[in-house]
Each structure stands twice: as structure tokens, then as C-alpha cells.
Structure 1
Amino acid sequence: MHRAYRERPSVFAQLARQDGAVALATRFLCLTAALSGKVHHARQSEIDLEKQIWIIPAERIKSEREHRVPLTASALNVLRRMEILHCPPSADGLIFSGGKIRSPLAQ
């Protein structure tokens, strides 16, 4: 078994103990198996809490087809932690916004 694969539980446990936006975005990325760019540009309007699904619109997908990502209880908890940490979505709805106004976390 590859060493990095064996270390994943430990790394994920470390992330779970951190409350920063970067750690939470990384946890969300792992829990949804989404590409980092999709997570960095995720918007509040794409999240359907009632149906527990993240709907990425076609214009943000290379195949130009809407993509639906089921949200586990853990993924929903990450979104709640962002709210609890007083990290509300930016003016343009980015969930994991960066330090610059209207920019995603990674930029």
C-alpha cells in the first residue's frame, strides 16, 4: 500500500481539528471528491440543503452539463462550520472566498 494512502486518515483527522477556511475547504473537497476549482468557486446558490445536494451549473463544467454532488452529513457540517465561523458567503455568493473581495479562496 502506498505510504500517502496509509496517511490519509491521520491527515483527515488533523483537518477535522482545524476551523480555518482553508482546512474546511479541503475537508469539503475530500468529502465531495470534487475538483479543487469547483470547490473554490462553489456558491451558496448551488447548495440545496433540503435535498442535500450541490448542483454545479453547466457553465462551470467542461462538459457543459449540470453536475449533481450528493452531500453527506459531514459535508453539510463543513458548510455549517463556515457559517458558525462567521465566514458567510461573499457578496457574489462564494462559500470559500479568499482574502480579496469577490475572489475565490485559491486566488
Structure 2
Amino acid sequence: MTDPNRPVDPQDRPEVVHHTTVNTAPAPERRGGGGGGVLAFIVGGLVVAALVIGFIVYSNGGFGGQAEDTNVDVDVNLPEVPKMPELPTIEPPTVPRPAPAN
């Protein structure tokens, strides 16, 4: 076995040098963890929706401003209820008591 740290003597070189070419396929494209961008988009949409709802709730209705007069007069005309006839008086039923055993 030869020493790899020793310089090669030009006389030891062969006249014809054969080169071997090794072709390798390019590395496959790496993709993210399977939907991190979609998840961020959904979370961002939920945050925006919560902010819009919060604005509408805390600004008392949003963009329209306050109502000037909120007093409302409600008048409902109900029909007259006819007078019901008097019910006859009924005695409550009596239940016989058991007699003592002899």
C-alpha cells in the first residue's frame, strides 16, 4: 500500500488515464411542513374578523352613529275577552277509610 501523503512520482503515472463520470439525480425539492402557509392565512383571517366584530360592538353599532331618539310608543289593541260562564260548585269526592282489623 502506498503512502497517500507522498507526492506521486511522474514516472509512476500511467500514460492513459481513465476517468469515471458519476451522474447523480438532483436532490428533490423540499417542501414545507404541509400547509403552514394555509394555516397562517386562516388564523390571520380569524384575527381580522375578530377585530371587525370588536369594532362594531364597541362603537355601538359601527358606522351609522347614535340614534337621535330612542323613545318608542307601542300601542297594541287587544280584542275583548268574552265573559266566561260561572262553573257549578262540585263537592270533592270522599274516599272511604279502611276499618281497623279485628
Fold similarity call, TM over 0.5:
no
Q: Which gives a bigger RCO, structure 1 or 2 (Cα 8 Å, sep 6+)?
A: 1
Structure number, greater radius of gyration: 2
Greater percentage in strand? 1
Structure 2 length-normalised TM:
0.20
Greater percentage in helix? 1
